[in-house]
Amino acid sequence: MPIWLQRQKYLIDFTLSSLLRRRGKNAGLLLVYTLIVFVLASVMLFTHALRNEAVHVLANAPEIVLQRMVAGRHDLVPAAYLDRIGEIRGVQKKAGRLWGYFYDPAVRANYTLMVPATEPPASGDAVIGAGIARSRGLAVGDFVTWRGSDGQPRTLRVARLLDGDSELVSSDLVLVAEDFFRGFFGIPAGQYTDLALSVRNPREVRKIAEKLALLLPDTRPILREEILRTYDAIFAWRQGIVYVLLIGAVLAFVVFAWDKASGLSAEERREIGILKAVGWETGDVIRMKFWEGAIVSLTAFLLGHLAAYVHVFFADAALFEPVLKGWAVLYPHFQLTPTIDGLQLATLFFFTVFPYTVATIVPIWRAAITDPDTVMR
Amino acid sequence: MIELRDVRKVFNQGRPNEFWAIRGVSLSLEANRVTVLKGPSGSGKTTLLSMIGCLARPTEGRILFEDRLLSGLPERFLTEVRRRTFGFIFQQFNLIKGLSVLENVMLPAYPLGGPRHALEAGARRLLAQFGLADKAAYRAEWLSGGEAQRTAICRALINGPQVLIADEPTANLDTALSRDFMRIVGELKAAGKTVLLTSHDPEVYDAPQVDRVIEMRDGRVVGG
């Protein structure tokens, strides 16, 4: 083994036994440090995974959704608009969509009722999301009755439950046939909630949106990329809220860690004197202290991050669920796909490991440059 | 072997509490001898010993080891000389609490980066030589005064120094242990080591193993 490496090994050995000598103090520090990294990393991993999930979900969404606006409010779109859009080049597919919200007073939750573009259920049948099935205690073959916009009760038979994998977006979803939907909400034939347009060339999306705005001035085109940006902003905002809540805890830790790392006890000063007197260089003492800071902060970083990974991807992020997922009665149960963002990891590493390591070195430098003859006195 | 030429040392220079601890000492110390610096507290023994052992630099004057000028060396080289040439035994023994006896003995060799098995074997050999083989795994704070001092001697010898420096080595020992220490000093001399001691204990400066006693007072050599 090269001498340089062997020296580092000796220094690390000595550092480890130094840390073990002050077991209680260092274990406490490590615990608090790990906890802070755990909380910060959990928020980072969770919001990043949610954003990722949103990107995947929206991958199959139409490039443009066209809504009709009346007096600044969303209104129904006449089917005739579809023919007028047909004149715009670049629009590959276009279809009217039927969807709406329904408040179920029995469980005090909002559902999303929708007519699927393909394979709609038979009239009187419904395909429901897992969240609704859980909250209403419904299974396939059960019947459910809701009161429509005309006050008349309408009954649906549960034909199928939606796949649990898509629960993030389908938890509150009810898929119904077109005739049921129109009857339930009182929407006449030839009217749609909005229009979905597919565009072949993604670079043409903005241009087509401009043309739509000119051709149909009472409509509002919503682009998929804008929805993605909105999701991003929402998750970033929620992440920010959690960070703000955590700021107090983080600051308390910073003060505690700074005090621990930068303060040298009389015992530690004496030890440095002894080490220098028996032949350690100032550099050896600083390197030893560097290893101490690096070992503590790296261990806390790895343990905290590992715990956060398990928490987010295997324990459903139980601690942050209410804040980060949103406020709803129908909490979706879903498994996030484990993903790690390298930049976020590096940022967290930089803001946790680096300052602590520096904080351990600075005061030791002052102590280590003193003359070693102090131990003779 | 070691030569001091008009060495002076001042503390707190330029301040109201300025104090000249050494006021012009010129000495020549022979190799393979046991030399004792004797004198009352405040006479400058420890300061002189610190400078000879490269723990501190003189304010004025020169210190040479085997014709090599030590007093002007930068810290890094001074540490290197200290590590390889001098072994220290301190009055308070200065073992590091919480570490085992074996680890304490090996400490001065860590910066040298030699192979671990050789270092550990050397440390165990020294511990066996000084009757501490069964104490290797003990923590330093569990040792008696005599054991702690023998551990400190092992630590001083781990890098194979030519010169052993001991500051008031018997100050914390009873008469029997003080005699035992001087017996060890005799053995080290027989093994070819040069030993420098400070003491005002007659058990030390009157011991048969001592070759030369240098008397100091108020920062000056007054005899020997």
Nearest to A7 among B55, B76, B111 (CB): B111
What pLDDT is stored for residue A63 in this prediction?
87
**Residues of chain B neighbouring A11 (CB-CB closer than 8 A):** 110
Q: How far is CA A280 from the centre of its chain?
A: 49
- Residue A219, classed as helix, strand or coil, is strand
B218 Rama class: left (phi>0) / alpha (psi -120 to 50) / beta: left
Give the CA count within 13 Å in the CB-facing half-sphere of A23.
4
The per-residue pLDDT for range B87-99, each reduced to its tens digit, is 999 888 889 988 9
More confident residue, B116 or A337: B116
Give the minimum alpha-carbon distance from A330 to chain B in angstroms, rounded to a whole number.
Answer: 57
Domain ranges in chain A are 3-58+230-376, 77-192
Q: How far apart are CA A370 and CA B68, in angstroms?
A: 25
Q: Select from B11, B41, B45, B50 the residue whose CB has the most chain A CBs within 10 Å, as the one to mutate to test that interface.
A: B50
What pLDDT is stored for residue A320 in this prediction?
72
The mean pLDDT of A59-71, rounded to a whole number, is 87
Residue of B nearest to A3 (CA): B113
Nearest to B94 among A274, A279, A373 (CB): A274
Calculate helix-pair angle for A3-21, A282-313, nearest 10 degrees: 70
Given a cut of 90, whether residue A61 has pLDDT beyond it is no
Class in CATH terms, A77-192:
mainly beta
Query: Which residues 65-124 of B are in CB contact (within 8 Å) with A?
Result: 75-76, 79, 82-83, 88, 90-91, 94, 96-99, 103, 107-108, 110-116
**3-state helix vs strand vs coil in chain B, percent to 5:** 40, 25, 35
Q: Is A259 exposed, middle or buried (0-12, 13-18, 19+ CB in 10 A)?
A: exposed
Query: Which residues 198-217 of B are in CB contact (within 8 Å) with A?
Result: none
Position A333 confidence tier, pLDDT thresholds 50, 70, 90: low
Whether A157 contacts A172, CB under 8 Å? no
pLDDT averaged over 10-residue windows placed end to end, chain B, 224 residues: 92 89 92 92 90 90 90 83 89 89 93 89 92 92 90 92 91 86 91 92 91 93 82
Give the helix/strand (H/E) hosting A4: helix A3-21
The mean pLDDT of A27-41, rounded to a whole number, is 87
What pLDDT is stored for residue A165 in this prediction?
64
> Which ipTM score applies to this complex?
0.88
The per-residue pLDDT for range A91-143, each reduced to its tens digit, is 888 899 999 999 988 888 889 999 998 888 998 899 998 888 888 888 999 99
- Output phi, psi for A292, to 5 deg: -60, -50
Give the minimum alpha-carbon distance from B30 to chain A in angstroms, rounded to a whole number.
Answer: 23
Residue of A nearest to B51 (CA): A373
Position A357 confidence tier, pLDDT thresholds 50, 70, 90: confident
Give the minimum alpha-carbon distance from B56 to chain A in angstroms, rounded to a whole number.
Answer: 6
The pLDDT mean for chain A works out to 83
Superfamily for domain range B2-223: P-loop containing nucleotide triphosphate hydrolases (3.40.50.300)
Query: Which residues 113-172 of B are in CB contact (within 8 Å) with A?
Result: 113-116, 155, 159, 167
**B79–A1 CB contact, under 8 Å:** no
Q: How far apart are CA B174 and CA B181, in angstroms?
A: 10
**A17–B103 CB contact, under 8 Å:** yes
CA torsion through residues B100, B104, B106, B110, sign: positive
The per-residue pLDDT for range A148-189, each reduced to its tens digit, is 999 999 999 999 988 766 666 678 889 999 999 999 999 999
**B79–A280 CB contact, under 8 Å:** yes
